Structure 1
Amino acid sequence: MRVKREDAGNGQVALHIEVESEEMERSLDRAYRRLVGRVNVPGFRKGKAPRVLVERYLGREVLVEEALERLIPEIYEQAIQEQGLEPITQPQIEITRRDPPIFTARVALRPPVELGDYKSIRVPYEPVEITQAQVDEVLERLRWQQAPWEPAVRPVRFGDLVTMDVENSVDGGEPSSQKNIQYQVMENSSVPLPGFAQEIVGMTADQEKGFSLAFPTEHANKDLAGKTYAFKVVVREVKEKRLPELDDGFARSLGQGFDSLEQLRDRIFSDLLRRAEVQAQERYEEKVIDSVVELANVELPPLLVEQEVAYLVEEQARLFQGGEGGVDAYLSRIGKSEAELKEELQPVARKRLMRSLVLSEIAARENIEVAPEEVEAEIQDRLSRAGHGVEEARRRLSSPEGRRSIEQWLLRRKTVHRLRDIAKGERPEEVTRSSQFQDGGKR
C-alpha cells in the first residue's frame, strides 16, 4: 500500500491510496471463499468449485466488488493509523481504479477550538412563578374531561359534539359520503378544512345545509390551493358538555385520593411548578451554552458541515414520515428540492457542530470524565422506566454502541452543568465528577 497525504485546506486532508496487486489478490481470494458457498456452479457441489470457475461463472467484476467492499475500509483504517490522523468525519471515497484499486479518501480533522474566557460568564436565572390563573385553567380542563356529553335542544355552538351526515366533492367531481360521523365543532379547527366548523355553527338537529369552500391558487397549503370543496351536511344530533360543580365532591370524583378541592389545587400547583422548573432549567442551560459558544472561535471544515447537513436531512425525513418513504418522499411532501432543504439546514448544522466542539473542548479543559459506574447507573435507571420493552432496551443499551452513546450523553450533561454553575457564580473553582441541576422555582 502506498499513501500520499495532501493538505486539502480548511482542516481537511486527502489521502491518495494505491493498493498493490499482491494485496488485491489476497482480498480477491477471501472474496472467493465468501462467495463460493452461496453460488451453484454446474458440476460442483455448493462450496466446492475452484476459484477460476467461480470467477468465470460470476464474472471477475463480481469478485472485485465483493473484495473492495471490505478491502477499502480496511486499507483506509491502516492509512489513517500510519499517518497518525484522527478524522472527525466519515471518509469521502473516490475510486479512480478498481483492480487493483487506487482511491482517494477525504476526511476532516477535528478543528482547533479557541475558547474565550468562559469562566467569566454570568447569566441571570429567572425564578419560576405559577399563578392561580394557571391552576384555574387546569381545573377547567379537568371539569371538561369529566363532564358527560348530553343532548342540547338548540343551534350548534363552538365546543359542541355534532352527529351528522356529510357528502362532499372536489371541483365538481364524484361525490363521497359518510353517515353518522361525530364532529366536535372547534373555533380554530382546520379539520376537515379551514372554515368548515364555522359553517356548522348555528345549524339545528335535522337541518340540511349546502356550502362550498374555495381556496385561492396562492394558498399556503398546496393540497388546497386552487380547489373548491362542495359540502352537503345534515345534522342529526347536537350534544354539549354539562360541567360539574367545582367543589370537594368533584375532587373526590377524580379517584386519586383527594379529599378536598384545596388538596387538588395544591397538587396541580406542585405539578405545574415541577414542569415549569424543568423547562426553565432547559432554557437557562441553552442561554449558557449560547453565551459560551459566542466567545469561542472555531473554523468548521466544509466536509464536516456537509455530512452534518446530510444527517439532518435524513433525520427530518425519518421523523416526519416515521421511517417510511425516504428523503425523496419527504421532499415531495414539503415541496422543496434537496438543495433548498440543505441550504435551509446549514445554520442548524453549524450551530450543532459549534456547540458539540466547544462543549467537548471545555470537558477536556475542566477534566470532566464519566466513570464506568456512572454509565451503568444510567443504564439501570433507563431500564427501570422501560416497561414491557425492558429486554430489548437492555440489549440496545448494553451494547458497545449503546454504552458509548450514554457515556457521551453523560459527558455533555456534566459539562453543561459545570457551565451552569459557573454562569450562576456557584463553585466556579470546583470541578466535580457528577453535577446535578438542583435549582428550582419559587412558590
Structure 2
Amino acid sequence: MKISVRNLEPTKVRLTVTVDTEEFEPYLEQSRKEIAKQVNVPGFRKGHVPGKIIDQRIGFAAVAGEAVNNAVPELYSKAMDEKKFQPMAQPEIDVQEVPQSAKDETKLKFVATVERRPDIELPELDGMEIEVAKPEVSDEDVEKRLESLRQRFGTLVGVDRPAAKGDFANIDLNAQIDGETVDSQEGVSYELGSGTMLDGLDEALEGLSAGEETTFEGTLEAGDHEGEKAQIKVKVNSVKAEELPELDDDFAKDASEFDTLDELKADMRKAAEKDAEGRQATEARDAFIEKLKEGLEIPVPKGVKADMVAEHLKGMTPDPEKATKEQKAEAEESVEKELRDQMVLDALAQKMEVQVTQLDVTNFLASIAQQYGMDPSQFINAIVNNGQLGSAVQEVGRSKGLLAGMRAVTFKSDGEVLDLSAFLGDDTQNEEDESVAAASAAAAVADELSSSDAE
C-alpha cells in the first residue's frame, strides 16, 4: 500500500492511498464468498460457488463494489496509523480507481480528506511544580449551608397582602398573539424573584394581591410559538410566604442526628471543608491542563469547531441563525478551549502510554449511567448501538492520562506540597481500583468537557 500525504491546513490532510493488487485480493475473495452465500447457481451448493462463476454470473463490478466497501475503511485506518495521524472527524472518501475485471491490473486508489489532531509537543512532567490556592471555609459558607437546611424545613403560610420577592404565588397564565390564545396554564405555583419562567413575570406579579390580575408583554420560551412576543395575562389566586423554623437546639434535633445547634454547625463546617478540598482538586486539574498548554500554539480544526459552535448556539438561543455577535463569540471561545483541552489530554495520554481496558470503559459508562439514573446495561448497549463506543474509549484514555500526568507532577499550596491522593489514587493501586478511579474522574471530565454528549 502506497500512501502520499498533502497537508491542506495545520489540522487537515489529504491522503492518497494506492492498494497493491495482492493486498486487495483477499477483500475480493471475501466478497465472492459472501455473495455465494446469498445466491443460487444451478449445479452448485449454496455458499460453495467458485469465485470465477460468481464473477461470471453476478458480475465482477458487484464483487468489486462490495470489496471496496469493506476494504476502504480498514485500509484508511491502517494508513492513518502508519502516518501516526489522529483523526478528529469522519473522513471524506473519494474512490478514484477500481479494477474492472479479475485480470485488470488497475490498482484500487482512494483519497481520504480528514481533520486531524495537530502535533503537540508537551513539556516534560519531571520536576514540574504547580501552585494551587489554599481552600478557605468561612463562617458565611457554614451559614449558607445552615440556611439551605432551614429552608428545607420551612412551611408556606397564606398572607393577606401584596406579593413580594421570595413569596410563592399561585397563578393562572394566558398568552395571546394577535388576540388569539396560544397557551394557557392554571394553578401554577411560582416563587417571585426566581426568574424561572417568563421574562417580566416577576415585575408583573410584585405588588399584586390575591384576586388581582395584570397583563404584560413577554417572549414565549417553549411550544409552537417559542421565541415570539405575546401579551400575557396573569391572575393571582393566592399569595403564600415561607415561614422558617428558629435556629436553635430543637431545630438541630429535628433536622439532624445532633442534639445541639453548635454540633450541627461543626458538622457542616467539616462538610464545607471537604467540599473545599474537592474544589481545590478541580482547580489543580484545571491548572495542570493550563500548564501543559502554556507557550503552545494549538491550531483548532475548522470543521470540527464549526459543528461544535453550531451545537453550542442551539443551547444558547431558540434560533441559532439569529444569534448575536456576543453569543457567537462566547460559543467560539468556549469551543476553542474545549477542543484544545481535549487535544492536550489526548497528547498526554499518548505521552503517558496509557492503555485502556474493557473494564475501564465499562466502569466509565456505568459511572455516567449512574449519574443520570439510567440502567447501566441499557446505557452501554445504547452507546454501542449508536456507534459511540470509540468516543467512550477516547474519553477514558484522556481521563487515565490526566490521572497519570497529575501523579507525575508536584502540586503546592502556600509553598507546601499538596496531597491529592484521595482524588488521584496512587501508583500502587491494583488495576481494578485504578479503573474505578479513572471511571469516576472520566465521568467528571466528560460532564465538564462534553456534557452535551453525556446527556
Measured against the shorter chain, the TM-score band is 0.5 to 0.7
After TM superposition, the structure 1 = structure 2 runs for residues 287-436 of structure 1, keeping only pairs within 5 Å, are 287-295=287-295, 297=296, 305-306=301-302, 309=305, 312=308, 331=320, 347-348=336-337, 351-352=340-341, 355-356=344-345, 359-360=348-349, 363=352, 389=375, 406=396, 408-421=398-411, 426=417, 433=427
Question: Does residue 1:159 correspond to 2:163, yes or no?
Answer: no
The CA distance in 2 between the partners of 1:241 and 1:252, in whole Å, is 21
2:180, 2:348 → 1: CA distance? 59
CA distance in 2, matches of 1:333, 1:363: 44
Contact 1:162 1:235 in 2 (8 A): yes
Distance 2:227 2:356 in 1: 56
> Could you state the TM-score of these two structures normalised by the residue count of structure 2?
0.66
8 Å Cα contact 2:345-2:401 kept in structure 1: no
Give CA-to-partner distance per residue, 1:77-111, whole Å, 9 cap, x none: 55567xx4322226735424253342123568876
Distance 1:175 1:119 in 2: 64
The match for 2:7 is 8
Question: Match for residue 84 of structure 2?
Answer: 86
Percent identity of paired positions between Structure 1 and Structure 2: 20
Residue identity in the other structure for 1:433: D
Within 2, Cα distance between the matches of 1:154 and 1:4? Answer: 80
Once the two structures are superposed, residues 368-422 of structure 1 have per-residue CA deviations (whole angstroms, 9 ceiling, x without a partner) of: x77989969977996997888455689899xx97778545522321212322448
Give the whole-Å Cα distance in 2 for the aligned partners of 1:414 and 1:358. Answer: 13
Structure 2: distance between partners of 1:389 and 1:331 = 34
Query: What is the CA-CA distance between 1:213 and the residue it aligns to?
Result: 1.4
1:206–1:40 Cα change, 3 Å: farther
Q: Aligned-pair RMSD on alpha carbons?
A: 5.1
- Contact between 1:185 and 1:201, CA under 8 Å: does it hold in 2? no
What is the distance in 2 between the residues matched to 1:12 and 1:198? Answer: 52
Match of 1:219 in 2: none
Unaligned runs of at least 5 residues, structure 1: 216-221, 322-328, 438-443
When residues 284 and 103 of structure 1 are mapped into structure 2, their CA distance, relative to the original with a 3 A threshold, is same
| Superposition pairs of residues 11-410 of structure 1, within 5 angstroms | 14-19=14-19, 27-28=27-28, 30-31=30-31, 33-34=33-34, 51=54, 55=58, 64-77=64-77, 79=79, 84-89=82-87, 92-97=91-96, 99-100=98-99, 101-106=108-113, 113-115=120-122, 122-174=129-181, 176-179=183-186, 181-189=187-195, 191=197, 193-207=198-212, 209-213=213-217, 224=227, 227=229, 229-254=230-255, 256-295=256-295, 297=296, 305-306=301-302, 309=305, 312=308, 331=320, 347-348=336-337, 351-352=340-341, 355-356=344-345, 359-360=348-349, 363=352, 389=375, 406=396, 408-410=398-400
| Shift of residue 52, structure 1, vs aligned partner | 6.1
* C-alpha distance 15-252 of structure 1, shift in aligned 2 (>3 A): same
Amino acid at match of 1:153: D
1:138 Cα offset (Å) = 2.0
**Distance change (3 Å), C-alpha of 1:45 and 1:161:** farther
Q: How has the CA–CA distance of structure 1 residues 166 and 99 changed in structure 2, closer, same or farther, with 3 Å as cutoff?
A: same
Please give the per-residue CA displacement for 1:293-313, whole angstroms capped at 9, x wherever unaligned: 214x4665x7xx347537746
User: For residues 46 and 25 of structure 1, what CA distance do their matches in structure 2 show?
Assistant: 22
Decide whether aligned partners of structure 1 residues 37 and 152 sit closer, same or farther in structure 2, where only a CA change above 3 A counts: farther
Q: What 5-or-longer segments of structure 2 have no aligned partner?
A: 100-107, 220-224, 384-388, 419-425, 438-455
**What is the TM-score when the length of structure 1 is the normalising length?**
0.67
Residue correspondences, number: 395
Q: RCO greater where, 1 or 2, for CA within 8 Å and sep 6 or more?
A: 1
Aligned partner of 2:443 in structure 1 is none
Counterpart contact for 1:87–1:110, Cα < 8 Å: yes
Q: 1: CA distance between counterparts of 2:34 and 2:339?
A: 43
Q: Over residues 280-331 of structure 1, what are the superposed CA-to-partner deviations in whole Å (9 max), with x where a residue is unaligned?
A: 2211332233234214x4665x7xx3475377469759x959xxxxxxx995
Task: Verify the 8 A CA contact 1:167 1:177 in the aligned structure 2.
Answer: yes
2:305 maps to a residue whose letter is V
- Structure 1 residue 262 displacement after superposition: 1.6
User: 1:38, CA displacement in angstroms?
Assistant: 6.2
Q: 1:204 to 1:4 in 2, by over 3 A?
A: closer
Task: Give 1:414's aligned amino acid.
Answer: A
| Distance in 2 of aligned mates of 1:175 and 1:15 | 55
